[in-house]
Amino acid sequence: MQALPGFRDFFPEECARRNYIFARWREVARRYGFVEYDGPVLEPIDLYRKKSGGELVGQLFEFIDKGERHVALRPEMTPTLARMVAARARDFRKPIKWFSIAQFFRYEKQQRGRLREFYQLNADIFGDDSPGADAEMISLAIDMLRSFGFTAEDFVVRVSDRRAWNSFLAENRIETEAAGEFLQVIDKLDPNDSAATEQKLAAFGVSAAKLNEFLNTANQTWFEPLRHELDLRGLAKFTEFDLRIVRGLAYYTGLVFEIFDRSGKLRALAGGGRYDNLIEHLSDGATSISALGFAMGDVVLGELLTEHTTASESMEKWIRAQNEIDIYIVIAKEDRRADALRLGQQLRDAGWRVDYPLGAAKVGKQFQSAGHLNARVAVVVGEEWPDVNVKALATGEQRPIAHAEVTSHLATLLQP
């Protein structure tokens, strides 16, 4: 029996990489003063039908539950988060700055960088509609990637605005009902296939020339305050203005952005934008609060990490440190096992990472195990009990230590 297509087994190696990604995400989100939340994995399907829109709705893992409810596994966090904020917006000081790390499910076509199960970091700000908030969001996304060791040579944030597209739609008399569909088409245009582009645009009464003129000459003044804010932080070099970014989701109202690897080989690393009307829609007008955010996925990021020498070295170093143990207890005389177990328990209670052989084993084998586990110290329990021998495994230096001194001696040896 194999895992379903697009679903992953996380053996310890993959789990360690996942934890590394989560640790960086969490650390940087907290550096920016964001607090963590979570929501349900399963939601009423209408939440997505009404709020996500676009192709996402066709990708839902959906079923009827035993109570005859039509439900779906969450394909994204934003509708859940909007519902949560709509319900209790008044209870929180503004701006609300929240993040979460959660698993999502989309019945996607199998392709590189896209699975049917993946994790996202979501970070969102509510109650601030200034360019300062836009810049804060983009800075957070940039700093997350920088924390892995990536630089402006590795990735780029492509920034655009739905309002520019709204004026294009109005100028070209594209009805509001067709707007979503039109933006989906723009989102999926293949720059190398001009015949297909012409054909797709013609359905909306737009020519490729008209579209190109708009892409090349659109007014960029709205981008200036944002760019200035990023400049102050020294982060403007990570961004590019690019109207071709429209985003597939229905709820965006202003700024939208996506992050790509510079080589252009991979799918988007992250995407987000402003959705100032979603909460009002969800609460039937009861609560109105501006909102913006983004999500970064673990799959494409994981691919970029493995390809990047310094970033993957930092990751491997972190993983080694996570898996290392502090102390291996070598039981040199099997009839001292009871004493060794008591000592092991005492050392674990003191907070050290401790391991020992679960059954009788030759001393040489035990030292080998200590080596495999990257233990820093071996404590040898044998003839001399209640005294022990303590060996620093990096230097090979070994000393007999009186029982009463064991903990303080280890504390000195194991200083970080």
Q: What are the residues binding ligand HAM (CB under 6 A)?
A: 76-78, 106, 108, 114-115, 118, 120, 122, 124, 249, 268-272, 293-295, 297, 299-300
By C-beta, is 25 or 294 nearer to ligand HAM? 294
Closest distance of CB 74 from ligand HAM, Å = 10
Q: How many Cα atoms sit within 13 Å of 408 on the Cβ side?
A: 5
Cα 129 to chain center, whole Å? 24
Closest distance of CB 107 from ligand HAM, Å = 9
Closest distance of CB 104 from ligand HAM, Å = 7
In order, the DSSP letters of 260-300 are EETTS-S--SEEEEE-TTHHHHHTTTS----EEEEEEEHHH
Q: Which two tokens stand for residue 211?
A: 């579209």
Closest distance of CB 159 from ligand HAM, Å = 14
By C-beta, is 21 or 295 nearer to ligand HAM? 295
Closest distance of CB 85 from ligand HAM, Å = 12
In this structure, the strands spanning 96-105 and 35-36 are parallel
Q: Which two tokens stand for residue 136?
A: 């804060």
By C-beta, is 61 or 367 nearer to ligand HAM? 61
- Cβ contact 350:386 at 8 Å: no
User: In 3D, which of 129, 144, 155, 139 has the Cα closest to residue 222?
Assistant: 129
By C-beta, is 254 or 271 nearer to ligand HAM? 271
Closest distance of CB 275 from ligand HAM, Å = 6
Closest distance of CB 101 from ligand HAM, Å = 12
Alpha helix locations (H) across 189-282?
Answer: 194-202, 208-217, 223-232, 278-282
Q: How many Cα atoms sit within 13 Å of 96 on the Cβ side?
A: 22
- State the residue number with the nearest CB to ligand HAM: 297
The answer to whether the peptide bond before residue 95 is cis (omega within 30 degrees of 0) is: yes
CA 315 – CA 20 distance, rounded (Å): 7
By C-beta, is 299 or 379 nearer to ligand HAM? 299
By C-beta, is 43 or 326 nearer to ligand HAM? 43
By C-beta, is 155 or 168 nearer to ligand HAM? 155
The label of the residue with tokens 């291996």 reads 328
CA 369 – CA 328 distance, rounded (Å): 8
By C-beta, is 276 or 339 nearer to ligand HAM? 276
- Residue 196: count of CB within 10 angstroms of its CB: 12
Greatest Cα pair distance, the chain, in angstroms, is 91
Closest distance of CB 251 from ligand HAM, Å = 8
